[in-house]
Each structure stands twice: as C-alpha cells, then as structure tokens.
Chains A and B, each alone.
Chain A
C-alpha cells in the first residue's frame, strides 16, 4: 500500500523536525501552538500506522493456523477488504491534516533544514566502573566540618538545626550523604533518618516519610496525624537522632513550626541537617548553624573536568591549547560540580579547538549569571544530545523527583514507546537501551547508579535540576500525579500516578494517553468495577498497575491492542484475563503476578492454547503465583523471547511444544 509508506515517511521526517524544534519553541508563542497542533496530528498518524502493524501481525498469526490455499484467499476476505477501505479513508484524512499544518509553517518562518546531531561518542566498554566512581572531589574537609557541627553540644533545645546552603548542583545532597554514611556519625546517633522533601512541604507527608525511614517499610497512607505522631513518639522519644531533610524550599515559618513540634521528642543533642538552595529558607527555619557550601577551587574544577572528559584516564595527557581552554571553561563554572560534569560530558570525544572555544564563549554563561543557576549549562548539554536521546531523556519526567528509576523497567518503557528503534548496527533493542543508560550516566544526566549481583547497572536517579530540565523539555506531555493537585494541566500523553490521584484518571484525554504507570508501593483500586476506566485508554503502549482489583478490566483489557508493556503486580483478576491477553499481539513485555483464579478455572484455560502463543513479538515473560496453572502453551515458537521467569507456579507440569518429535 503506497499511501501507508508515504504516511510513514512523512511521520518519520516530521518526528525529526519536532525533536529539533524545542529551541524555537521557547521563543515564539505562535510556533509553540503550531507545534502542538502538529504533534496532535502526529499522534493520530502514529496510532494509525500502528493499526497496520497490528493488522499485519494478526494476518500472519492467522496464516500460520490455516493452510496455504486459504492463505491466498485470505487477502481477499471481506474483513480485510473492509479494513483496507476504512484505513485508506483514514490516511487520506490525516494526510490532509498534515498538509494544512505544513502550509502554516511557511507563515512562521520555520526552517526545514534539520540539523540532526550525530552521536559521535562511542561509549567505551569499561565505562560502568567509571560511571560508578563516587569521585566526590574536595569534600573530605567539608565533611569533617559538618560532623564537627553535629557533635557540638547544645545549649537550650532538644533538637538543633544545621543547614547546608548553596546553589543547585553544588553537591549539597552529595555532601549530606557523605556525612550521613560516615562511620563516626553512625556512632554518634542512635537513629538516622533521611527524607527528601523537595518543593512540596506537607507536614503530614514529611512525618509519614520520617516514619517510613525509621521503620524501613511502607506506612498506611490513611493513618491520621495523631496516629503518626504517637508512632513517631514511640520510635524517637529519648533517642538521639539525626534527621536529614534534603532539598527544602518552604519559606513558611508556620509550616515549619508545625513540623518542629512533632520532632521535639528526641533526646538531647539530636540534630536536624537541612539542605537548601536559599538562605531565606534556612532563616525561616531558625537554623542554628548556617553552613555555606563553597564551590570547588580552580584546580579541583579542572581536575574534575579533565577526569570526565577523558573518561577517567587523565594520565593520557591532553593537547596544550585544549588544556588551556579547558581550564578557562572549568573556572567559568564557579566551582559547581554538576556544571563541570555536564560540560565534561559534552566535551567527551570532541577534539577540535573550535568546539571547545564555542563552549567557552557560549551565550549560556550570561544566562547562568542572570538566573544564578546552572540550568543553561545543562540545557546546552541536552541540546547536544541526538534526537533519540533527547526523546528518552524527556520521557524520564514521568517519574517523580528523586525517584530511584529501575534500569530494566526504564528500557522496557522506552522500548514500548518505540524510542529505541534507531541503531541498525545494534541488533538487540535492549542493548540500545543499555547503551543509552551508560551515555546518560557518563554525561551526568543520570547519577547514583546502583549495581546488581552480576555487576550490571540496576537503577539510577536524576539530579533535581536534571529532572526540572526533563520536565521543561517534555512540555506538558509527561506528568507524575501525586494527588496534591486537584486538576490536570493540559492533556498529558505519559502519566505516572499515586493512589491519591486515582480520581484524576477520568479527566485524562483517552485518545492521547500512551503511558499509565501506577507508581510502585502505591495501592490502586480495591473495587474491581472502577478499574474498568482503563479500558478507555485505547492507545496505551505501557500499563503498569499494582495492588489492584482488576476483575472488570480482566475482560476488557484486550481492547488495548497497542499495548507493548503490561505489568500487573499483586492484582486480583478473573480468568478472562488470559483470553484478553491473547489479543494483545504487540506485547513485548508481560509481567503477571496475579491471583483470584481457582484451579478448575485454569483447567478451562487448558483448551485455549493460544493465550501466549499469539504474542509473537514478546521479549520478556514473567509469571508469578498463578498457583492453579497446570500448563503453559508452546513458547519455543516465540521468535524474540529472551527472558522467561516463572515462579511459584506450584501445579505447573508442562510447558508444551507444538509438534512433538517422537522417537
């Protein structure tokens, strides 16, 4: 079908323009609006193209069932003709919309010259150890100074406050972490508590996080303030504790006083260590000791920059001119480590003098001064990413701030959105994902990587300034609903949410939604009926739910035919879910940890051999706790299956194969 090819090409080239349009977006309101419209048409087109993919998969699956003769006739079957007719009509409509939007482009003086940045840096194999080095430079003395402050006896109150103040990216959190994990500090205090507060200074939430940190487990969200307080008292009273409140923004004295009253129960000489960007915040809190964190000195700055640029091999030496430019760049960063790291990442693999000079003389330095922030530096580094990388980076903003992002899940999500289908030279798509993660780590877009037993990266975090940047570049497309806001801003495509925000799901734009993730550790629906709202989101590519009753959705989930990634943890389902899943033929990742089905119901399933076999694109299958499951359908015909994880299927006897070769 020629029209399909044409549409596909149009969509591809527009995607590149879109990814490159952010710079202009900032400046011009008209352009912004135009891009929004273009994006809308794009989404339609994208979904339509996906319909063809699905139809094609279906056709192939059917063909496998039938013999050759019927296959010939199949292409002429009434269903298929109807589908083609309908689609031809749809394509025509979309191409028309495209023409309209493109016509408008000339009025906006938008250039059609796309500058696609080629990713020149080849990530070295040994990067992972480089990425993980804690290389916190020049902080040892500062750590000692803070610890001395923590040791100081107090005059009047039970609990006193120390605050680390400095601009974003200076390493306040990193320093607080060094202190927090120090052996000596461990001996001084009986209890250590770490809470990341960020913008939302809600007393109850903070108390809950404190309690969770003490108990090292989730606390019931519905606990009353009184309950929380008595729980805290039990755990803190007469204990000498250290509480770190990371990243405070609150300037309301009232709120702070309220929180403080709950914290006064500790033993004498308990301490609260606060990190904040603003002196006003520290003053609001009546901080006893203000520790103003200074930046790195010029030597330290250059040392760090050099380390990042050379992937940790400073010893190999550097061209003299480059070194002198590099030193100047380092100095301009005013000792802010994140800025130095980010620019280091930017200069990795660049060896032309002009490229370095461009960085040294860039306009963004002036912006940094005006805003007293290093965000313009981060932005520059972002703009130097390839469009594919930018897309993945922006997508990270579906996670809340300070979230520990699991690497494998992140890759599954990006894969489901089609963001990783870009490097023809790497055949395995997860490898593309792993490579992206390494690049983001070496360039400091991600940080705090953790490793698993096998020495692979397990998870990572984003610096809050990076998170801000991701939110900014994602526009209104991504959001994380924590339930604090009462209504939605715009019409997001990618949403993560917590239990408290469930009510907002009704108001999401069903035609746009591509990602819906219930954040782990958050329970979902207790009433199976209500979960059926999800079946309206027909274009979802990713669905992840936990602790929910999905009895109603089990039947209708088959409607979400675009789904690539389905993860259900601890969910109550009905037997219908297996039949529904067999319709999700695009699935790449499926994790099922479900209950609520009796063994005799599973026996019925026995006669439906298709439920997994039709998922010909599946890469990863994980099934846990389906106790009554006795048989799994043939799996060895699934051509892309890379990972199979089955656990506690106590009655499972066979994973059957299609045609036995009997001796």
Chain B
C-alpha cells in the first residue's frame, strides 16, 4: 500500500528524481509509446540495450544525472535506440553521451528535422566519446534534406545504415574521414540512391572509398 499513497506528492520537481533507486540487475530496457511515464526507478547499470521511443525523457535524465554510483551511468550500455517525434530531446543534458563508452550500436528513428538540429549538440566537433561505436542506423525521417555532419565525428564507425529518408539527397563530405567505415547501407531513400548510382556525382566521391555499399529502393 505504501507506494500508491505517494502519488499525491510525487509530482513536479526534477530534483526528486535523484532519489529514485536503481534497478539492481536490469540489463535490457525498452519503453515504447508510454507517453505519460515520468516516474520510475533509474537504470544506470543497463548493459545490453536501451530503447526509448515516443516516451518521456524524465527517467533517462534521472539516470544520467545520478552521480552517486561507482561507475558512470550507462557506461556499460552496448545498444541504444532512441526515437519518436514527441521525444523531448532538448530536455536531455547535452553531454549525456560522454559516459556511453561501451556503446556499439546506435539507432535514431522517427525524428524531425528540428530534433536532428537539436541533437547536434550531443555530438559536437571536439566530441571524443562513443569510442566503441561500430554501427549507426538512422531511419524514418521525412523532412531531412541532408545528413547531419556530426556522423563524421564518430571515428570508430564501421557500418552506417540510412533507411527511409524521403527527401535526403546528399551525404556530408566529411564521410571520407571515417576510415574504419566498411559498409554503407542506403535503403528507401530514392533521391540519395539516384545520387549514389551516378558515379560522377559529388555524393559518389564522398562514399567511393567505402568497400561495401548497399543501395536498395523501397521494399
């Protein structure tokens, strides 16, 4: 009974989150379409995967803000998927990715152009984090015309997948800086696929160094 009574005074105040206890052993967490979920235990020790889709960011904030741990929060996390037009990216602390040192796989989906602009600050130029990141997948973004530059800062990337960007027509020049990049997959991006197929285009020059390029139309 104890816990449900709390409903009355638990509201508001961000700082209150700091007192939320963590899950002891949780390794995998997925929250999708729970638009009202703002109070829950924190999850600093996740190591397998975190998925946060069309849901509030309060619990994530509480987790990354928690300083009282022996290891930085989420420093063991391997796979992260984040997405949804309603996801309040501006509420998440800008530097939150600096502790994600084990992250291998990052997926960003259903973001608007505006959201993409905002998250650029997560991956600034001097950004030195995500040293383990091997694979990034960006998908389902209708109004983005060019791929964000920050991808080129993720120097350990081996695999980039871009899916269902209807208006995307170019890739950033800096892509050639990604020397470890082995595979580029472009699926369901009609304009970009056309660009890439024309082997004289500027786009082609930016990707020509990648050993394995997979182009596919909408399925």
Binding site for B on A (CB under 8 A): 453-454, 606-607, 609, 631-636, 639-663
Q: Which single residue of chain A is at the shortest CB-CB distance from B49?
A: A454
Contact check, B78 vs A454: say whether CB atoms are below 8 A apart.
yes
Q: Enumerate 26 A-B pairs (CB-CB under 8 Å) in ascending A order.
A: A454-B78, A454-B79, A454-B105, A606-B4, A631-B7, A636-B21, A636-B22, A636-B41, A643-B48, A644-B29, A644-B30, A646-B31, A647-B31, A647-B53, A648-B32, A648-B34, A649-B34, A650-B33, A653-B39, A655-B39, A656-B4, A657-B3, A657-B20, A658-B2, A660-B10, A661-B21
Min CB–CB distance A195 → chain B (angstroms): 22
Partner of B21, one of A453, A643, A657: A657
- Which residues of the other chain, A, contact B53 by a CB distance below 8 angstroms? 647
- Which residues of the other chain, B, contact A656 by a CB distance below 8 angstroms? 3-4, 6, 39
- Which residues of the other chain, A, contact B28 by a CB distance below 8 angstroms? 642-645
Contact check, A655 vs B40: say whether CB atoms are below 8 A apart.
yes
Q: What is the size category of the interface that chain B forms with chain A?
A: 35 or more
> How many inter-chain contacts with C-beta < 8 Å in the A-B complex?
114
Partner of B4, one of A631, A636, A644, A661: A631
Asked if B182 is at the interface (CB within 8 A of a chain A CB), the reply is no
- Which residues of the other chain, B, contact A662 by a CB distance below 8 angstroms? 16, 19
Contact check, A647 vs B33: say whether CB atoms are below 8 A apart.
yes
Given contacts A639-B24, A643-B26, A646-B30, whether A663 and B19 have CB atoms under 8 Å apart is: yes
Partner of A633, one of B3, B24, B29: B3
Contact check, B107 vs A453: say whether CB atoms are below 8 A apart.
yes
Partner of A661, one of B19, B22, B26, B48: B19
Q: Which single residue of chain A is at the shortest CB-CB distance from B31?
A: A646
Main SS at interface, chain A? loop
- Which residues of the other chain, A, contact B137 by a CB distance below 8 angstroms? 453
- Which residues of the other chain, A, contact B41 by a CB distance below 8 angstroms? 635-636, 655, 657
Contact check, A655 vs B37: say whether CB atoms are below 8 A apart.
yes
- Which residues of the other chain, A, contact B49 by a CB distance below 8 angstroms? 454
Docked Cα-Cα span, A661 to B68, in Å, equals: 14
- Which residues of the other chain, B, contact A631 by a CB distance below 8 angstroms? 4, 7
Contact check, B34 vs A639: say whether CB atoms are below 8 A apart.
no
Asked if B1 is at the interface (CB within 8 A of a chain A CB), the reply is yes
Name the 4 nearest CB pairs between A and B, nearest first.
A655-B40, A647-B32, A656-B3, A643-B28
Given contacts A453-B105, A609-B3, whether A642 and B26 have CB atoms under 8 Å apart is: yes
Asked if B35 is at the interface (CB within 8 A of a chain A CB), the reply is yes
Contact check, A654 vs B34: say whether CB atoms are below 8 A apart.
no
Asked if B15 is at the interface (CB within 8 A of a chain A CB), the reply is yes
Q: Which single residue of chain B is at the shortest CB-CB distance from A643?
A: B28
Min CB–CB distance A496 → chain B (angstroms): 26
Docked Cα-Cα span, A283 to B212, in Å, equals: 46
- Which residues of the other chain, A, contact B40 by a CB distance below 8 angstroms? 632, 654-655
Asked if B169 is at the interface (CB within 8 A of a chain A CB), the reply is no
Docked Cα-Cα span, A609 to B4, in Å, equals: 8
Contact check, B15 vs A658: say whether CB atoms are below 8 A apart.
no
Docked Cα-Cα span, A662 to B8, in Å, equals: 14
Other than the given A640-B25, A643-B27, A646-B34, 11 more pairs (CB < 8 A) read A641-B23, A642-B27, A643-B28, A644-B29, A644-B30, A646-B31, A655-B40, A657-B20, A657-B21, A658-B2, A661-B19
